[in-house]
Structure 1
Amino acid sequence: MFKVALQRVLNHLGFQVVRSRTSFSDEELRIIEQVRGYTSSSAERLAGLVGAVKYLAQNKLDGAFVECGVWRGGSMMAAIYTLQNLGDISRELFLFDTYDGMSEPTEKDVMFDGQKAADLLRDSPKVEGPGNYWCVASLEDVRQNMLATGYPKQRIHLVKGKVEETLPAQAPEKIALLRLDTDWYESTRHELTHLYPRLCDHGVLIIDDYGHWQGAREAVDEFFAAQRFRPMLHRLDYTGRLLIKPP
């Protein structure tokens, strides 16, 4: 999520353009184009999300879709478009965010190249709109973007506040898809602690920031090091990782 400003520059330079169209299906390409401007996620990560939604449907795995850190809602929009293509509008969708930009980072939150998150945020204005490091998007902006997909509004749940304050109380009991994109160590560790146990067996966990933020990587590695069985993290691109929860 924090990579919005960087992605804007890359878009301008043409790096977001899908250079090898044969590596994506026609459906993936359509959805990637539909959500461009609502997400900073790469084409590879979006394709991975589309594939995850189809996998869950094909295997009839029940549970809600949960995203922590949504910016303008583009990733969940991609999930919606995939569900609609499958003829499924029954999933409950939960979008957790401050809807007021990034929370304050700690000393653990350092970019892969050594830049401290606190330094980057300090020099960036906290304003709504594309291209700012704070990734500010209002709840109303996200609501309108979600409703524009045509998905049933009663199945869309926007939960405002820091995840450390809203989780686990406002999370669904059963989760099929869990996407984490809050960037920082503290929030990522909190999300895993409280939501991973609710992820169904064979459910999908997607971590957006594993390769980009050292704090997010540390939180993930610490959490799974303490588990009875450590699942394999599948690489989507330089930062995104996906795993299927073992039974």
Structure 2
Amino acid sequence: MPTSDVVQRGARVVRRLSRGVRRRLSPAVPATPDPQQVAELKRVRKRLRTARAQVERLTEELNAVRHELSATRHSVRDPDPTIALPAEVSATVERVREQRLSYLKAADLEMLARLVVQLEQSGRPGLVIEAGTARGGSAIVMAAAKSPERPMKVYDVFGMIPPPTDKDGDDVHRRYELIRSGGSAGVGGDTYYGYRDDLYGEVTESFARCGVEVGAHSVELVRGLFSDTIDLDEPVGLAHLDGDWYESTMTCLQRIAPLIIPGGRIVLDDYYAWSGCKTAVDEYFADRPEFRLEQRAKLHVVRL
């Protein structure tokens, strides 16, 4: 039986026993109580003390289980949650969240930052890539976590998201129709990024406002469709892919995955969210044993 159920049952026992005690202590009890009633009352009080102690013990156990589950969720989300983030990187996460520049939770932004820090600490080479940046928040955090000399490329159309194809499921087409019709809301109720007049300029300004100016941190914002812009021939250390639909995800995998260094990693933001992304990932990695897929809060792919 789950711990919470045991605690609830114990609480019900305590309430029931408490009512019994109150009844036995009511004015209806004669001035000289019956010895049998006194003995019964003592037994009830003892049972009540025992039940209360059991509830307290089970409550402590439940709190311990909750703490363990929280730690497990954190470790599942983050390959190495013990990596300490520099204070400035943590501050960048806060700025990004305060300015509503990312759909990601703080824990997911911190996870991406730790992956970049881990890459730096390992001394491994390679680009840092984000494909699909929206308002730029996660890219800003990743750029803040890397060394200024390590190159980073951020790919996006910086405008309205491209339409899905017949490789995408009904969920994707319904979502796209909502976006196309003007009914989508942005982070925190702001204007949806695809409806903004100069998203490229806004993202550039957001990098600077968060203290990660693109020129000073070797960041290149690359505007256009992935199929037109992703053309690489250098090693990649870490790639965060947020392309939503099948075609954009498959294009990223075909052009980036072969360049991932051993020990390098791809994080796929939409694998659990949109059918097209999941289909592309499952198809691409079906017969590629050189990669390991890790089922975390976001899907991670590691080059072996």
TM-score by length of 2: 0.63
Distance 1:107 1:117 in 2: 14
Report the Cα offset of residue 65 of structure 1. 0.8
Alpha-carbon distance in structure 2 between the residues aligned to 1:69 and 1:234: 21
Structure 1 stretches of 4+ moved >4 Å: 23-29, 125-129
Q: Of 159, 166, 178, which residue of structure 2 is paired with 1:107? A: 166
Aligned residue for 1:139, secondary structure, equals: helix
Q: For residues 111 and 201 of structure 1, what CA distance do their matches in structure 2 show?
A: 36
User: Can you list the C-alpha shifts for 1:126-164, whole angstroms capped at 9, x where unaligned?
Assistant: 899934374756111111112332446051211110001
Counterpart in the other structure of 1:205 = 266
Quote the residue 2:239 is aligned against: 178
User: Is 2:200 the partner of 1:142?
Assistant: no
Query: Match of 2:143?
Result: 80
SS at match of 1:103: coil
CA contact (8 A) 1:71 1:135 kept: no
Q: What is the rounded CA distance, in whole Å, between the counterparts of 1:141 and 1:151 in structure 2? A: 13
Equivalent residues of 1:189, 1:223 under 8 A apart:
yes
How far apart in 2 are the matches of 1:109 and 1:42? 26
Out of 96, 100, 103, which is 1:35 matched to?
96
2: CA distance between counterparts of 1:124 and 1:51? 36
User: Which one has the largest radius of gyration?
Assistant: 2
Report the residue type matching 1:55 in the other structure.
Q
1:5 corresponds to: none
1:72-99 deviation per Cα after TM superposition (whole angstroms, max 9, x unaligned): 111111112223xxxx211111011001
Residue among 70, 73, 85 paired with 2:133: 70
The structure where helix makes up a greater share of residues is: 2
Indicate yes or no: 2:220 matched with 1:162. Answer: no
Q: CA RMSD in A?
A: 3.0
Mapped partners of 2:245, 2:142: distance in 1? 23
Check conservation: 1:66, 1:178, Cα contact below 8 A.
yes
Task: Report if aligned partners of 1:71, 1:99 keep a CA contact under 8 Å in 2.
Answer: yes
TM-score (norm 1): 0.76
Distance 1:243 1:51, change over 3 A: farther
Cα deviation code 1:14-41 (max 9, x no counterpart): xxxxxx89x6878575443121111111
Q: Is the 8 A contact 1:65 1:94 kept in 2?
A: yes
Structure 1 letter corresponding to 2:201: E
Counterparts of 1:123 and 1:90, CA distance in 2: 42
Q: Which shifted more, 174-183 or 31-40? A: 31-40
Structure 2 partner of 1:52:
115
Query: Of 215, 218, 221, which aligns to 1:153?
Result: 215
Aligned partners of 2:164 and 2:173 also within 8 Å: no
Residues 172, 140 of structure 1: CA spacing in aligned structure 2 closer, same or farther, 3 A cutoff? farther
Counterpart amino acid of 2:221? L
Q: In structure 1, what is the equivalent of residue 192 of structure 2?
A: 132
- Measure, in 1, the Cα distance between the counterparts of 2:144 and 2:256: 24
Are 1:201 and 1:245, in contact at CA under 8 Å, matched by a contact in 2? yes
SS at match of 2:203: helix
Identity rate, percent = 26
3-state SS, counterpart of residue 44 of structure 1? helix
